Amino acid sequence: MNRVVVVGGGPKSYIPDLKEFSCEDCYWIGADQGAEVLVEQGIAPDLAIGDFDSVSETSLKKIEQISQQMIIYPDEKDETDLELAINKALQRSPEHILLFGVTGGRIDHSQANIQLLYPLMKKQVKATIIDQQNRVELVTAGEHKIEAVEQYPYISFLPVTLDVKELTLVGFYYPLEKAYLPFGSTLCISNRLIEDTGTFSFKSGILLVIRSTDLPNKG
């Protein structure tokens, strides 16, 4: 699979061990501080891109030494560093884009980054946001299979359109049959699969599918 991994500059505590997502043909892009994360985790960026206003001069030199390619932009620009990275990712015609370091910290940044899933979906590129606690995808109407993943046992379905019509869940602890899901509904929070593979289908609308887990308390 042609997979591109994009690492943004979100809080490092939200970013899992990236080597667990490595593949033979993965192409690694570090956006701003995301390039620093890749270097710190022992992964040489294929591309480091951004204005790099979030890294020290020492770190910037190390990124430049280790990266296969580096593109530096001015601080004032129309696109965010993450958008620049995604645009470069799309040039590779990927089947799947994994996004790390795009959640946590400021809510406006997290929300904007989640919304970036929409243009990718429109281009028919599968994209997944991943952090220590969540996997997030945007899904259009139709029938979809979903497999049980021990690391992320909870599954929530949130409408991002004004409504989602005829949502059916099969193989879930809380099944549904052609349910109406308006924007703002919490009907489909914290469900889980009771079979190895389940299905969800809906007639119209767009769903944010969030797979999540509870992190242990540090007490």
**Whether 8 and 79 share a structural domain:** yes
153 and 109, same domain (yes or no): no
pTM of structure: 0.92
CA dihedral 113, 139, 190, 202 (to 10 degrees): 150
* pLDDT, tens digit, 9 for 90 and up, residues 30-89: 999 999 999 999 999 999 999 998 889 999 999 999 999 999 998 877 788 999 999 999
Higher pLDDT, 218 or 11: 11
Cβ atoms 17, 40 nearer than 8 A? no
Q: What is the DSSP letter of 172?
A: B
- The whole-angstrom distance between residue 106's C-alpha and the CA centroid of its chain comes to 16
In a domain, 75, yes or no: yes
**Burial 82-116, CB ≥16 within 10 A → b, else e:** bbbbbebbeeeebeebbbbbbbbeeeebbeebbeb
Give 163's pLDDT tier (boundaries 50, 70, 90): very high
Q: Is residue 88 part of a domain?
A: yes
Would residue 123 count as lying in a domain?
yes
Q: How many structural domains are present in the chain? A: 2
> What CATH number has the domain bearing residue 58?
3.40.50.10240
Tell whether 217 is covered by a domain: no
**Are 115 and 68 contained in the same domain?**
yes
> Within this chain, do residues 125 and 146 fall inside the same structural domain, yes or no?
no
What is the model's pLDDT at position 217? Answer: 62
- Give the structural domain span for 49: 3-132
Query: 17 and 121 share a domain?
Result: yes
Q: Are residues 42 and 112 in the same domain?
A: yes
For the ranges 27-31, 55-59, 136-140, 200-204, which has the lowest average pLDDT? 55-59
